[in-house]
Amino acid sequence: MGVATISFLAFAGAQVGTPGPANMALLATGARFGFRAALPFVAGVVLGKQLIIWPVGFGLMGLADQVPWLFELLKWASAGYIFWLAWRVANMRLATDQSRLRTPGFRAGLLVHPLNPKAWAMITTGFTSFVSPGTPTLQATATIAISLLAAQLVLHPIWTFAGDRIARTVAGRPAERILMWVLAALTVLSVLFVLFQGGNP
């Protein structure tokens, strides 16, 4: 009994480090507002995943068998929200004067993962593929939670810092519009990939 912790850490690192709605939001926020100003948003994104992990670990996914339409609705509503964010990113410009702009804060960051189909898929896979039958619920949930937290603490700031560096290079140049549309397209593609894998969020 137990959790395949090393294997799950490798899985978590690969999932958290690759493009997805959360990383695109972090990249865009870092590009738009700068690394330091984006840190409260980063903290919200990191802790927001815990809002999924613990309820899932303590039996939320069992509800999917009883009320499957509820999770299907959640999946498509979440995807719709992320598509809307992608549209905003596509039309965003990396303003050089941020004095009149409001940086997304901690509370905005908390919403990113609960509305992110990739996060739901990642966490569900963690419990179904890396936890041995009979493992105590608290042990399994805490291991998944701590492993994902560790991966996020390392990788989410890197994405945000990358956005900050990229913005300094392309802001106000023709490449800026291309960059924002590429970020938006990657966000949409990452959600579509999760939606059509055939699993619940």
- Residues 94, 99, 103, CA angle at the centre, nearest 5°? 65
Exposure b/e, 35-65, CB count within 10 A at least 16 = b: bebbbbbbbbbbebbbebbbebbeeebeebe
Phi, psi at 131, each rounded to 5°: -110, 125
Assess whether pLDDT exceeds 50 at residue 161.
yes
pTM: 0.74
Dihedral sign, CA of 182, 48, 42, 158?
A: negative
| 40-67 per-position pLDDT tens digit | 999 999 999 999 999 988 886 566 567 7
| 84-99 per-position pLDDT tens digit | 767 876 776 665 455 4
Q: Bigger pLDDT: 188 or 42?
A: 42
Which of the residue ranges 25-29, 33-37, 117-121 would you say has the lowest mean pLDDT?
117-121
Tokens, residue 108: 């905005």
Dihedral sign, CA of 83, 86, 88, 91?
A: negative
